[in-house]
């Protein structure tokens, strides 16, 4: 990439001077707070494109193209590239660079927020994702209505480690559980922080995600709410988690509500119960819709029923961080069969997915 497009942020005292220079020809100011770290190593760029396995007939979606280093590589091998960039300054640089190479007829730049727009049809995703939107963007891709062959993504190394984690790993969490329910995730390579301008504080990793051809037959909204409960304190035993009075009261009220809805038309569900902050205290939803307060007798009886389900299934002393997806699916099935539900089904489904994506944003 021509060096005239770069302004390094090596010293905070020079920030104001660099902003002033941005108006001059050939300079652009990168905002670290927006995750604007431009990958500059041509060998790494070539490796990402090669591992993406792009066909000559493919349409590629790129999120956060920045000044176009990766975009130009994609245009060399793909039939069409959709590049989604929210920064108008970057859009201008990107369009100019592509025009200089005579490839503008194969590129469509969309100046919008990737989390708030409907994506055009595409075959593959290849992107250096801004760190701040990694979680909600991956959630939008794997749980959204966007059929695609694979996603080759450059992510913050720690985030990638969490995404790749397996049961028993210290990094295994709700993010990994939910993504791996519907997709396969593979490590591709590590990328040094020195390969970016401006240089971030941490290294990065490239991962590849493939949607599964067969997805378990489970109510996704119920699954999200269930894993949120289990992984709120992932290293706590399930027996201890389901002894908490606040949680028992919430589940009892939902159970009572489900009983009252059995003879009615099936209700629609929402995405609002999904939150990847596993250490954050869960907040109950829709309590204003619950029936009258439950009695102490009902509460004790319901608590004992949950304990019996856990004990009968052999889950009482187990911890969510050690359970496989198959074991978690089995536990959810046992609880649902006993009339224990996790999702608030009184709310309408957010068909646009916006509520779900927003709940995954920090």
pLDDT of residue 265: 35
| CA pair distance 276, 178, nearest whole angstrom | 9
Confidence of residue 258 (pLDDT cuts 50, 70, 90): low
| CA pair distance 310, 80, nearest whole angstrom | 52
Q: Is 96 annotated as a binding residue?
A: no
| CA pair distance 72, 301, nearest whole angstrom | 64
| CA pair distance 149, 124, nearest whole angstrom | 6
Q: Is 74 helix (H, G, I), strand (E, B) or coil?
A: helix
Query: What does the block give as tokens for 291?
Result: 């029936």
What one-character-per-residue DSSP string does 210-232 give?
EE-SS--S--HHHHHHHHHHHGG
Percent pLDDT > 90 in the chain is: 65
Residues 6+ apart with CB under 8 A from 355: 270, 271, 272
At residue 87, what are phi and psi to the nearest 5 degrees? -90, 115
At residue 29, what are phi and psi to the nearest 5 degrees? -100, 125
Q: Is 37 annotated as a binding residue?
A: yes
Q: Is 279 annotated as a binding residue?
A: no
- 30-39, 59-68, 80-89: range with lowest mean pLDDT: 30-39
pLDDT > 80? residue 362: no
Query: Do the strands 196-197 and 38-39 form a parallel or antiparallel pair, or are they unpaired?
Result: antiparallel
Q: Is 64 annotated as a binding residue?
A: yes
How many other C-beta atoms can be found within 10 angstroms of the C-beta atom of residue 111? 14
Query: What does the block give as tokens for 223?
Result: 């699954």
Query: Among candidates 336, 329, 353, 360, which has minimal Cα distance to 181?
Result: 329
Contact present, 155 and 161 (Cβ < 8 Å): no
Confidence of residue 345 (pLDDT cuts 50, 70, 90): low
Contact present, 269 and 223 (Cβ < 8 Å): no
DSSP label at 256?
Answer: H
More confident residue, 8 or 177: 177
Cis ω on the peptide bond leading into residue 71 (within 30° of 0)? no
Contact present, 105 and 80 (Cβ < 8 Å): no
Q: Is 113 annotated as a binding residue?
A: yes
| CA pair distance 190, 161, nearest whole angstrom | 11
| CA pair distance 90, 69, nearest whole angstrom | 12
Q: What is the largest CA-CA distance in the chain?
A: 75
pLDDT of residue 273: 39
| CA pair distance 270, 53, nearest whole angstrom | 36
- Residues 239-249 have a mean pLDDT of 92
pLDDT > 70? residue 32: no
Q: Which domains does the chain have, with CATH numbers?
A: 3-13+22-211 (3.40.50.150), 220-261+295-359 (1.10.8.480)
- Residues 248-270 have a mean pLDDT of 61
Q: Is 287 annotated as a binding residue?
A: no
Q: Please state the pTM of the whole predicted model.
A: 0.80
Length of the chain measured in residues = 362
At residue 194, what are phi and psi to the nearest 5 degrees? -70, -10
Query: Do the strands 124-128 and 150-156 form a parallel or antiparallel pair, or are they unpaired?
Result: parallel
């Amino acid at each position: 990439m021509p060096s005239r497009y770069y302004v390094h942020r090596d010293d905070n005292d020079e920030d104001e001077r660099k902003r002033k220079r941005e108006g001059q020809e050939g300079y652009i100011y990168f905002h670290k707070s927006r995750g604007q770290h431009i990958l500059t190593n041509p060998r790494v760029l070539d490796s990402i494109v090669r591992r993406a396995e792009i066909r000559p007939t493919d349409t590629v979606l790129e999120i956060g193209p920045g000044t176009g280093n990766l975009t130009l590589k994609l245009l060399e091998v793909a039939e069409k590239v959709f590049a989604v960039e929210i920064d108008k300054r970057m859009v201008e640089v990107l369009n100019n660079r592509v025009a200089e190479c005579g490839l503008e007829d194969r590129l469509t730049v969309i100046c919008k927020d990737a989390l708030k727009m409907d994506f055009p049809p595409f075959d593959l995703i290849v992107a250096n994702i801004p760190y701040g939107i990694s979680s909600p963007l991956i959630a939008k891709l794997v749980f959204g209505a966007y059929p695609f062959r694979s996603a080759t993504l450059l992510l913050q190394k720690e985030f990638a480690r969490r995404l790749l984690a397996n049961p028993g790993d210290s990094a295994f969490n709700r993010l990994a559980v939910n993504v791996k329910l519907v997709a396969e995730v593979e490590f591709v390579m590590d990328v040094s922080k020195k390969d970016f301008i401006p240089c971030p504080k941490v290294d990065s990793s490239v991962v590849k995600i493939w949607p599964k051809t067969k997805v378990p037959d489970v109510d996704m909204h119920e699954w999200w709410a269930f894993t949120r409960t289990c992984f709120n304190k992932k290293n706590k035993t399930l027996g201890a988690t389901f002894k908490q009075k606040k949680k028992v009261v919430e589940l009892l009220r939902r159970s009572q509500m489900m009983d009252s809805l059995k003879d009615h038309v099936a209700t629609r569900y929402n995405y609002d119960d999904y939150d990847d902050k596993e250490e954050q205290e869960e907040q109950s939803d829709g309590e204003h819709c619950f029936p009258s307060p439950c009695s102490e007798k009902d509460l004790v009886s319901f608590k004992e029923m949950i304990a019996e389900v856990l004990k009968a299934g052999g889950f009482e002393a187990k911890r969510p961080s050690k359970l496989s997806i198959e074991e978690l699916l089995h536990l959810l099935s046992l609880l649902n069969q006993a009339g224990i539900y996790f999702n608030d089904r009184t709310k309408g489904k957010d068909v646009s997915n916006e509520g779900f994506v927003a709940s995954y944003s920090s």
